[in-house]
Amino acid sequence: MAASHVDFHEGERNQGARRSSPLRSAQRYREIAQTLFRHGMGFVAESLGLGRLVPWSLARRTQPRRVPLPTHVRETIEDLGTTFIKLGQILSTRTDIVPPDYARELGRLQDRVPAVPSPVIRAVIAAELGPDADQILEHFDDVPLASASIAQVHRATLPSGDPVVVKVQKPGVAERVEADLSILSHLSHVGAAQHLTEDFVDLVDLVDEFSWVLRSELDYVREARSADRIARNFAGDPALRVPHVYSEFTTRRILVMEELHGIRIDDLAALERAGIDRRALALRSSRILLKSIFEHGFYQADPHPGNFLITPGGALAALDFGMMGQLGPAMRTNLLQFVLAIVDQDSTRVIDALETFGIAPTTAHHASLRRQMEHVLEEVSGQPLGQIQLAPLVSEVFSLARRYHMRLPTDLALLLKTLAMNEGVGRRLDPDFVATEAAGNYLKELALREARTPKTALRFLRSGADAVNASLRLPRRIERLITLVERGELRWSPHPKAVERLAAEWRSAINRVAVAITFAGVAATSALLAVFGRPSTSVWQRDGVRFGLAASAVLGLYTLLLVWRSGGQGGRWE
């Protein structure tokens, strides 16, 4: 797509989105172009093919840069409104693709806007809940508790007398956001075609991911489900309090939740007056997040201090469930290895963990990255675990990813930044708090706990069985390969006698491996039955375990004999 052409009639790619008229789309493109020029960023508008939408007088006017370029970027985004502010806030957490000075500036983006008049909010509620809205939400407080660009929050009371807070989406927000997302999608394709960013930044994927996140925040039914899921995950755990969601009164544009009272987690003076142990609170909040990530695979991805209260009973109360992170079992396992490698300051394991995520650099840069990672970890080597700060380590990892053009998965980048943000909250509560110590202790406890579960034992046995089956199939596959060579269907340089000798050596080696794996499998099975099996007075069970251990010993001796004999017979080549 040429940069000099803008297709104002490009169709919406998003199902369920309301289409904006071509005239309104053209007007919004013009607003974006003029805003870029007004803030001295006309070069961006020109690169995106928007220069022709700007009056000649504005396009030729040069704006003196009295402030650094990152500040111009932030001011431009603030003028562009809700959608772009949300995008900037997300980018502020992605220091793997955004330079630190820009990330810091984007972190200052303000999402506080004047409140919408109460009659307008009441009209939205009536449109969602019907004519009985006044009976459903009694004693509705017209003065909002908070107001942002997307929604504002009011107090109310249900007919049952339960105090609630009502999150109401401002009118027209969803339509404006959808129109902007359509424009952003189009501009991302233009920017990608013009190579406006580094190769490791996929503009189209980035905008698609951001669009999904923002649409999720606009859907309060989804947020209600997220709150219910967190509540189920922590059912019976007094450390975390999740407000009850009144799903019968919740729609896509209205969220009705139980009102909780408490102290903001960053109100240190109030915490001191209440006698809250801030050190214990920092540790507790960290363990809640780690449990959400590594045990449940579902966590709050925006641990902002304003999203948490400390209830009178001392529990941590979560208030916002708009931005959530989710990890599958494989990702959690890989992440566990990655975080433990950082905690243990093992550069080799860190690189290996990066490779499991599919984000290792090219072979040419592999050695260089390993050296750089070693330099990063050398700065903390020798320090006690309780003195190593996670946030600088994560920042350095992101910096290396950016320098070596590695594309970090969005969920991994979001998670690492969430852990770093959580450390920031913890250090505000307790200056001596270090997330690596809390994470290291928790993850090692989790690893030991998981290793003792029957599920892990069965998984271990299943893996052993798969390895034995693979080893038994391997000799036949090698024989088929050698047959192809002998028939001339696969070219290979060695002499046929060498091939025969190689086949004999391979068969011998594979047989020894098979015996060794069988030995290990029988030994492991017997040991696991002895450890995890239910106590029993059954003679066959006791004798079966003893027989298994005895058989594994015999197989082990036989394996050693084979290895000893191979040392004198298989070491020469002709």
344-367 pLDDT per residue, tens: 767 777 777 777 776 655 554 667
More confident position, 529 or 303 = 303
Integer Cα distance of 385 and 187 in angstroms: 46
- Work out the average pLDDT over 161-186: 93
Lowest mean pLDDT among 225-229, 285-289, 530-534: 530-534
Tokens of 97: 């693709």
More confident position, 333 or 277 = 277
* Among 236, 316, 241, residue whose Cα is nearest residue 281: 316
Q: Give the pLDDT band of residue 10 (cuts 50, 70, 90).
A: very low
Integer Cα distance of 394 and 424 in angstroms: 12
- Work out the average pLDDT over 518-530: 54
Judged against a pLDDT cut of 80, whether residue 396 lies above it is answered with: no
From residue 359, give the alpha-carbon distance in Å to each of 90, 394, 401, 403, 455. Answer: 21, 16, 9, 13, 30
What does the domain layout of the chain look like in residue ranges?
22-110+175-212, 112-171+219-259, 267-451, 454-569
- Work out the average pLDDT over 467-479: 58
Integer Cα distance of 85 and 76 in angstroms: 9
Stated pTM of the model: 0.69
Spatial strand order of the sheet with 254-258 comes to: 146-147, 151-157, 163-169, 254-258
More confident position, 494 or 409 = 409
More confident position, 172 or 435 = 172
pLDDT for the residue 168: 96
Kindly report, residue by residue over 556-569, the tens digit of the pLDDT.
565 555 555 554 44
| CB distance 367 to 467 below 8 Å | no
Q: Give the pLDDT band of residue 21 (cuts 50, 70, 90).
A: low
In degrees, to the nearest 5, what angle opens at C-alpha 114 toward C-alphas 111 and 118? Answer: 125
pLDDT for the residue 522: 53
Judged against a pLDDT cut of 70, whether residue 215 lies above it is answered with: yes
More confident position, 171 or 67 = 171
pLDDT for the residue 156: 95
| Residues paired with 299 in a beta bridge | 325
CATH number of 112-171+219-259: 3.30.200.20
Q: Give the pLDDT band of residue 427 (cuts 50, 70, 90).
A: confident
- Work out the average pLDDT over 469-493: 60
More confident position, 475 or 242 = 242
Lowest mean pLDDT among 77-81, 309-313, 425-429, 525-529: 525-529
Phi-psi region of 13 (alpha: psi -120 to 50; beta: other; left: phi over 0): alpha
pLDDT for the residue 123: 94
Angle, in degrees to the nearest 10, between helices 203-218 and 220-233 = 80
The residue type of 183 is I
The three-state (H, E, C) secondary structure of 172-198, written as one string: CHHHHHHHHHHHHHHHHHHHHHCCCCC
Judged against a pLDDT cut of 60, whether residue 299 lies above it is answered with: yes
Q: Give the pLDDT band of residue 53 (cuts 50, 70, 90).
A: confident
Which residues participate in catalysis according to the annotation?
302
Q: Which of 51-60, 121-130, 454-463 holds the top average pLDDT? A: 121-130
pLDDT for the residue 3: 39
- Work out the average pLDDT over 392-401: 72
Kindly report, residue by residue over 106-143, the tens digit of the pLDDT.
888 866 678 899 999 999 999 999 988 888 998 899 99
Judged against a pLDDT cut of 50, whether residue 322 lies above it is answered with: yes
| CB distance 199 to 405 below 8 Å | yes
Four-residue CA torsion sign, 426, 430, 431, 434? negative
pLDDT for the residue 348: 75
Q: Which residue has the tokens 């860190």?
A: 350
- Work out the average pLDDT over 50-65: 66
Return mean pLDDT, the chain. 75
Q: What percent of the chain has pLDDT over 70?
A: 64
